[in-house]
Chains A and B, each alone.
Chain A
């Protein structure tokens, strides 16, 4: 059975996020709407890029996982799914994405 996170769509809340690579696997992100920043790893950064690149700035978890898998050459497995859910939840805590309920 799908979790609520899977049956919903994630939407990016902040336009014009700045993603700046610090190294191959570390990315500094700047939120211009709140003037704060944080560091993401390659998977987190790809999730954010994929979400930002979708039409309307929203996507369901499966679409996001497919995009991340394709970009980083990772298998879509329960571990990646679990990681992506945790990552999106943290992004929601800091206010850059939100979860949209779907009917």
Chain B
């Protein structure tokens, strides 16, 4: 049965329950949503796809849920448990395709994903012409025109160049059109152009809708084609269509610019792009009207003469026939669909919404158990079934611990995993390696500037772990670089950064800047204009508004040097205290599991830890003394108990008693523990139930700031913060 043969209400029921499975190019999706417009959109946009339940393992679990932002209705789109975007309700239908595009490029670990359309010419040699361009370049209009004129459209938005042989994969997806292009396609192709539901964007204020793929295009889904040319579309008023050759350097620059995962692929991405630039002929296509451009490309003798290009050779149509079938367009549907192979019994099952909530709760609990097992014993994941991997990837991705699982898994363990899972983990490793390199490169530059103006620069959290290469922290993702400097060196550090071009974000107002300095623990974040990594310069560890805020001079004084680096890191006890207060007082509880695991590792150490942070070396007496001096015993004890209960398999709960003279059982009954736990543990089908979001909001406001903070008008706008939906 196909999606188009079911009723919209049947689709809606399935989406509300376990969801439906969709295969798009190399990615397997599980789509879930309680929103009626999403069900209508899927029914209209994917009528030819088989109606089936989700596969045992989905590369991406996509959800669209209703939300509210500043009193307006929104759609919250999540991928593998992480909120990707919150859309105004009028963009509900657009959200379906935009999130799929995002996932397809994110899922490409062995292909260069270029912002480009690609199409196969009818009657040609079976090769694909690639049309790169940023939004607004006319790519989608040209792609739609080609498709409606009989070309096989592989993609209108993202072209995937295989790193091994340059081949492109057909995605068979709808094409998004807006404004004038939408009207033009309607008028020009009449009833042959079938559109999905429409929405409105505001900039510019026009209608958007999806054009459904033609039969020729659908048949190419999953098929692979060698490129014959790369053509950059450029609309020029009153211009007759013509092709102007482009130099290799320009082609290389543009491909790397439009290559969405170019940096993630590292040197392989570079080498592939160099080869593409050297071997694939490139042109600029000047035209005014897309229909004229189509006719021109269809009959142009220059295009006729171009061979298919694969890595290592230029092949003729005959040589490539094995790749692309006997003719360019008429091709057999992909028989070896990975998703079909791993299809489950859920295809045949009726939707059972009543048990959906209970099932999702069980799934989350099981996912969390597997997560903790994987953290303690990385190779324990070998042997998990696809269904178990599905649960684990969802939870680990939501808590930002998936890259750590991927990184800590042995090479043999990784090699033994099912292909579809291995690719997910390889992609996470690529992402984590890029983050590490970005941090290390930023540190390379900072060490040219800062030691001259401040002799004690302390790296905090993720940046410190990366710089010191702590084995337990490998795979930990960090989005910014945190420095701690003595308050009396702050001005000179800021000046050195400003002199080297570091700037604040444009949206930081003067009032914001004053707020940072008066009430927070860091100055406004800055970034280098080229590298754009956020740099947070701290002068304290807790905001000045926090009643427990303290001076950090002693911590900086006893910080320890990082080997082969001019930077320092907090000593093991202060490092642990910082990790604890960072989650308790300023924490991001959505990923609290990650931070709790950090704390567990800091306390317990690991046998291979070169830093000497072993169980025997952690000085609990000193830890208790410093905690008491800082007056943060309650928060520290509560977090330690959470560590023991959620990730530490019971360790180190005995120290809660040492700190507070209270039994763990008594501590567990207290409101602070219950709120922290509720804010930490993923809950419900969306992993962020209403009660969890409320708990997260409460923890964002813990502890209540000093009373004098409330009297400062600078803080009034910061105070009005409603419970976040995301």
Which residues of A pack against B, CB within 8 Å?
13, 18, 20, 22-23, 26-28, 30, 32-39, 93-95, 98
**In whole Å, how far is B392's beta carbon from the nearest beta carbon of chain A?**
28
Output the nearest chain A residue to B445 by Cβ-Cβ distance: A95
Known: A18-B270, A28-B252, A39-B253. A33 touches B277 (CB 8 A): no
- Name the A residues within 8 Å of B262 (CB-CB): 37
Q: Give complex CA distance A21, B266 in Å.
A: 18
Q: Which of B204-257 contact A (CB under 8 A)?
A: 247-250, 252-253, 256
Q: Are A26 and B266 in contact (CB under 8 A)?
A: no
Output the nearest chain A residue to B452 by Cβ-Cβ distance: A101
User: Contacting A34 at CB < 8 Å: which of B247, B248, B256, B531?
Assistant: B531
Output the nearest chain B residue to A29 by Cβ-Cβ distance: B270
A sample of 11 cross-chain residue pairs with beta-carbon separation below 8 angstroms, ordered by A number, consists of: A22-B248, A22-B249, A22-B252, A22-B278, A28-B252, A28-B273, A34-B441, A35-B270, A37-B262, A39-B249, A95-B441
Q: Give complex CA distance A23, B274 in Å.
A: 11
User: Contacting A28 at CB < 8 Å: which of B266, B270, B531?
Assistant: B270
Q: Give complex CA distance A54, B531 in Å.
A: 27
- Name the A residues within 8 Å of B273 (CB-CB): 28, 37
Q: Are A28 and B263 in contact (CB under 8 A)?
A: no
Output the nearest chain B residue to A16 by Cβ-Cβ distance: B267
Q: Give complex CA distance A22, B441 in Å.
A: 26
- Name the A residues within 8 Å of B528 (CB-CB): 95
The 0/1 profile, CB within 8 Å of A marked 1, for residues 433-459 of chain B is 010011011001100100000000000
Tell me how many residue pairs across A and B have CB atoms closer than 8 Å: 72
Q: Does B722 contact A (CB under 8 A)?
A: no
Q: Give complex CA distance A37, B249 in Å.
A: 12
Q: Are A26 and B248 in contact (CB under 8 A)?
A: yes
Known: A23-B247, A23-B249, A98-B448. A35 touches B278 (CB 8 A): no
Q: Give complex CA distance A30, B271 in Å.
A: 9
Output the nearest chain B residue to A98 by Cβ-Cβ distance: B448
- Name the A residues within 8 Å of B274 (CB-CB): 20, 22, 28
**In whole Å, how far is A32's beta carbon from the nearest beta carbon of chain B?**
6
Which residues of B pack against A, CB within 8 Å?
247-250, 252-253, 256, 262-264, 266-267, 269-270, 273-274, 277-278, 434, 437-438, 440-441, 444-445, 448, 501, 528-531
Known: A26-B249, A28-B277. A35 touches B263 (CB 8 A): yes
Q: Give complex CA distance A22, B271 in Å.
A: 11
- Name the A residues within 8 Å of B529 (CB-CB): 93
- Name the B residues within 8 Å of A27 (CB-CB): 249
User: Contacting A37 at CB < 8 Å: which of B270, B438, B501?
Assistant: B270
Q: Give complex CA distance A35, B444 in Å.
A: 14
- Name the A residues within 8 Å of B253 (CB-CB): 38-39
Q: Give complex CA distance A35, B437 in Å.
A: 8
User: Contacting A93 at CB < 8 Å: which of B248, B263, B440, B530?
Assistant: B530
**In whole Å, how far is B267's beta carbon from the nearest beta carbon of chain A?**
6
User: Top 9 A-B pairs ranked by shortest CB distance?
Assistant: A26-B249, A22-B248, A30-B270, A35-B263, A39-B249, A34-B441, A33-B441, A20-B274, A39-B253
Output the nearest chain B residue to A30 by Cβ-Cβ distance: B270
**In whole Å, how far is B16's beta carbon from the nearest beta carbon of chain A?**
42
Q: Give complex CA distance A85, B132 in Å.
A: 34
Q: Contacts A20-B270, A27-B249, A93-B529 given; 9 further ones with Cβ under 8 A?
A: A13-B444, A28-B249, A33-B444, A34-B441, A35-B266, A37-B273, A39-B250, A93-B530, A95-B441
Output the nearest chain B residue to A31 by Cβ-Cβ distance: B441
Q: Are A95 and B530 in contact (CB under 8 A)?
A: yes
Q: Are B277 and A22 in contact (CB under 8 A)?
A: yes
- Name the B residues within 8 Å of A20 (CB-CB): 270, 274
Q: Give complex CA distance A32, B256 in Å.
A: 15
**In whole Å, how far is A14's beta carbon from the nearest beta carbon of chain B?**
8
**In whole Å, how far is B637's beta carbon from the nearest beta carbon of chain A?**
42
Q: With a 10 A CB-CB cut-off, give which of B248, B262, B529 has the most chain A CB atoms.
A: B248
Q: Are A33 and B270 in contact (CB under 8 A)?
A: no
- Name the B residues within 8 Å of A28 (CB-CB): 249, 252, 270, 273-274, 277
**In whole Å, how far is B314's beta carbon from the nearest beta carbon of chain A?**
17
Q: Are B266 and A23 in contact (CB under 8 A)?
A: no
Q: Give complex CA distance A102, B273 in Å.
A: 40
**In whole Å, how far is A98's beta carbon from the nearest beta carbon of chain B?**
5
Output the nearest chain B residue to A26 by Cβ-Cβ distance: B249
- Name the B residues within 8 Å of A13 (CB-CB): 444-445, 448
Q: Are A34 and B448 in contact (CB under 8 A)?
A: no
Q: Give complex CA distance A94, B266 in Å.
A: 17
- Name the B residues within 8 Å of A33 (CB-CB): 437, 440-441, 444
**In whole Å, how far is B557's beta carbon from the nearest beta carbon of chain A?**
30
Output the nearest chain B residue to A38 by Cβ-Cβ distance: B253
Q: Give complex CA distance A8, B397 in Å.
A: 49
Q: Are A26 and B530 in contact (CB under 8 A)?
A: no
**In whole Å, how far is B163's beta carbon from the nearest beta carbon of chain A?**
15
Q: Are B437 and A23 in contact (CB under 8 A)?
A: no
- Name the A residues within 8 Å of B248 (CB-CB): 22-23, 26
- Name the A residues within 8 Å of B440 (CB-CB): 33
Q: Give complex CA distance A13, B448 in Å.
A: 10
Output the nearest chain A residue to B529 by Cβ-Cβ distance: A93
**In whole Å, how far is B265's beta carbon from the nearest beta carbon of chain A?**
8
- Name the B residues within 8 Å of A37 (CB-CB): 252, 256, 262, 270, 273
Q: Give complex CA distance A32, B267 in Å.
A: 7
- Name the B residues within 8 Å of A36 (CB-CB): 256, 263
Output the nearest chain B residue to A35 by Cβ-Cβ distance: B263
Q: Give complex CA distance A38, B270 in Å.
A: 10
**In whole Å, how far is A62's beta carbon from the nearest beta carbon of chain B?**
23
Q: Give complex CA distance A35, B270 in Å.
A: 8
Q: Give complex CA distance A93, B445 in Å.
A: 11
Output the nearest chain B residue to A22 by Cβ-Cβ distance: B248
**In whole Å, how far is A33's beta carbon from the nearest beta carbon of chain B?**
5
**In whole Å, how far is B348's beta carbon from the nearest beta carbon of chain A?**
46
**In whole Å, how far is B393's beta carbon from the nearest beta carbon of chain A?**
25
- Name the B residues within 8 Å of A26 (CB-CB): 247-249, 252
**In whole Å, how far is B443's beta carbon from the nearest beta carbon of chain A?**
10
- Name the B residues within 8 Å of A22 (CB-CB): 248-249, 252, 274, 277-278
**In whole Å, how far is B278's beta carbon from the nearest beta carbon of chain A?**
6
- Name the B residues within 8 Å of A93 (CB-CB): 501, 529-530
Q: Give complex CA distance A28, B248 in Å.
A: 10
**In whole Å, how far is B82's beta carbon from the nearest beta carbon of chain A?**
23
